[in-house]
Amino acid sequence: MPSPPKTTDAEIISAARRLLERVGESGLSMNEVASAVGVRAPSLYGRFADRAAILTAIQLDLWRDLAGALGRAARSSDEPVEGLRAQARAYRAFAKANPRGYALIMNVDAETTDEGKRARAAAVGFALPPLASLVGEEHALAAARVLTPFLHGFVSMELAGGFRLGGGVEAAFDFGVTTIIDGLRRARGASRTNAKRSRSR
Amino acid sequence: MPSPPKTTDAEIISAARRLLERVGESGLSMNEVASAVGVRAPSLYGRFADRAAILTAIQLDLWRDLAGALGRAARSSDEPVEGLRAQARAYRAFAKANPRGYALIMNVDAETTDEGKRARAAAVGFALPPLASLVGEEHALAAARVLTPFLHGFVSMELAGGFRLGGGVEAAFDFGVTTIIDGLRRARGASRTNAKRSRSR
DNA sequence: ACCTGAACACCGTTCAAGT
DNA sequence: ACCTGAACACCGTTCAAGT
């Protein structure tokens, strides 16, 4: 006499994600996740290997959401600078909407699956085309390694309660994005520090 | 018949810090901290309110170390660009030497005491003088809000295992620092986006 | 086929008892 | 004065038993 499932993987993940935002990673217990989907803790082990597997699944979910938001932003404009600005805004908005989740996917100790790595690469990748048209194909990766760290650093400092010395955080963010894009434009061609070799000579 | 102390606060903190780097924050148990200093877990509660208090004490210790390293770097050169470069290198070196500790002090969920806030402000403050001579007193804070997020973002992405797309991470870091300093120099005076008001007109 | 209570080894924390 | 074992409420996880 087979028992019908009381829940699904997807329901567990989304319940766990909501719980994560409410109680933080260390507060996310198997008991609470289970009771949020109307089941007992041991039942979760039929679907996920352990607590870490649930966290990993949440991460994948978050990476996909972030990649989606960045993709939409990228498609919002053909003009590279405007496209980059839109992505920057979308990135910050995502982090502010999912602060605990954002911290989770950026965590040092986070385990990642191959799927997670792919979703992560996709998210990072959306900045490359506009950067390429801004600084040239061969400097796009180097440029991404300036802009992306700034975005991550800014929002994670903001979420951690930084920027308390006054002044608008919104304006500071825009200023940072503008300054970096300007700096990158200037570095175009001039710097070969981070290019493997300079062919055009 | 008074029992002599078997350990000290300082010994506990430094043992806990070593343990943190080895096993990570979630692996740092009161049992292990206690046994590392030759005592039983309940004894720790005579010195620290709870586990969170030990983590907070570790954070203060780390902020002081970071502030010390940045201060030394700041004093290494009078030339603002060279001073900023030295601080950037010191910042990255600190994070790489204390990866788990670095993650701890930057954590969203971290509690902070007033002492911690002061040590944190001191650490951030060392970049202001060279930035002031680079972009002017009134834009120094805005400039710090571009450079510091980049530094934090870069090292935390590096520690999290980012930058796997090839190319030298070292060179990428230098390129970022250079690009941002250049961008900030150019923005001097031109941008009033993030200044409260423009007096010089 | 799926869910469950009971059990195990752990954890942070409290507290009365020891010296 | 400081340290300790015992106890409590929790936690993740396993597993035999239920339907």
Residue in the block written with tokens 């009771």: A35
CA of A5, C1' of C2: distance in angstroms: 6
Length of chain B: 201
Q: Which nucleotide is nearest to A53 (CA to C1')?
A: D12
Q: How many Å lie between the alpha carbon of B160 and the closest alpha carbon of chain A?
A: 4
Instruction: Identify the band that residue B189 occupies on the pLDDT scale cut at 50, 70 and 90.
Output: low
CB proximity B107 to A under 8 Å = yes
Task: Answer yes or no: are the C-beta atoms of A79 and A88 closer than 8 Å.
Answer: no
Tokens standing for residue B144 = 């710090």
Q: Which residues of B touch A193 (CB under 8 A)?
A: 171, 174-175, 178
Over residues B65-84, the pLDDT tens digits come to 999 999 999 999 999 999 99
Task: List the 20-49 stretch of A: residues with Cβ below 8 A of B.
Answer: 24-26
* Bases in strand C with any atom closer than 7 Å to a protein CB: 1-6, 10-16, 18-19
Q: How far from A114 is each of A14, A118, A120, A126, B143, CA to CA, in Å?
A: 21, 6, 10, 19, 38
According to the model, what pLDDT value does residue B195 have?
41
Tokens standing for residue A151 = 């975005």
CB pairs under 8 A between A and B: 163
Q: Which nucleotide is nearest to A43 (CA to C1')?
A: C3
Tokens standing for residue B27 = 């692996």
Over residues A103-143, the pLDDT tens digits come to 999 987 777 788 888 888 899 899 999 999 999 999 999 99
Does B149 sit within 8 Å of A176, measured CB to CB?
Answer: yes
Q: Which residues of B touch A95 (CB under 8 A)?
A: none
Distance CA A168, CA A131 (A): 27
Instruction: Identify the band that residue A190 occupies on the pLDDT scale cut at 50, 70 and 90.
Output: low
Distance CA A85, CA A91 (A): 10
A29-43, A176-190, B25-39, B178-192: which has the minimum mean pLDDT? B178-192
Task: Answer yes or no: are the C-beta atoms of B146 and A180 closer than 8 Å.
Answer: yes
Residue in the block written with tokens 């900045």: A127
Tokens standing for residue B99 = 């990866």
CB proximity B141 to A under 8 Å = yes
CB proximity B146 to A under 8 Å = yes
According to the model, what pLDDT value does residue A198 have?
38
Residue in the block written with tokens 């970096």: A180
According to the model, what pLDDT value does residue B1 have?
57
Determine the angle formed by the axes of helices B9-23 and B51-74, rounding to 10 degrees. Answer: 90
Closest to A130 measured CA to CA, from A84, A85, A168: A84
CB proximity A177 to B under 8 Å = no
Q: How far from B105 is each of A62, A76, A167, B61, B153, CA to CA, in Å?
A: 24, 37, 24, 10, 14
Nearest residue to D2, CA vs C1'?
A: B3
Q: Is the pLDDT of residue B32 over 90?
A: yes
Distance CA B85, CA B93 (A): 12
Over residues B112-165, the pLDDT tens digits come to 788 888 888 899 899 999 999 999 999 999 999 999 999 999 999 999 888 877
Residue in the block written with tokens 């200044």: B195
According to the model, what pLDDT value does residue B161 have?
83
Instruction: Identify the band that residue A154 occupies on the pLDDT scale cut at 50, 70 and 90.
Output: very high
Distance CA B168, CA A193 (A): 10
Task: Answer yes or no: are the C-beta atoms of B165 and A141 closer than 8 Å.
Answer: yes
Over residues A6-45, the pLDDT tens digits come to 999 999 999 999 999 999 999 999 999 999 999 999 999 9
CA of B1, C1' of C18: distance in angstroms: 11
Which residues in 25-44 of chain B line strand C, with CB less than 7 A from it? 28-32, 41-42
Closest to A33 measured CA to CA, from A44, A22, A24: A44
CB proximity B178 to A under 8 Å = yes
CB proximity B149 to A under 8 Å = yes
Q: Which residues of B touch A196 (CB under 8 A)?
A: 167
Distance CA B143, CA A179 (A): 9
Tokens standing for residue A165 = 């010395």
Strand C closer than 7 A to residue A26 Cβ: no
According to the model, what pLDDT value does residue A114 have?
86
* Bases in strand D with any atom closer than 7 Å to a protein CB: 1-6, 10-16, 18-19
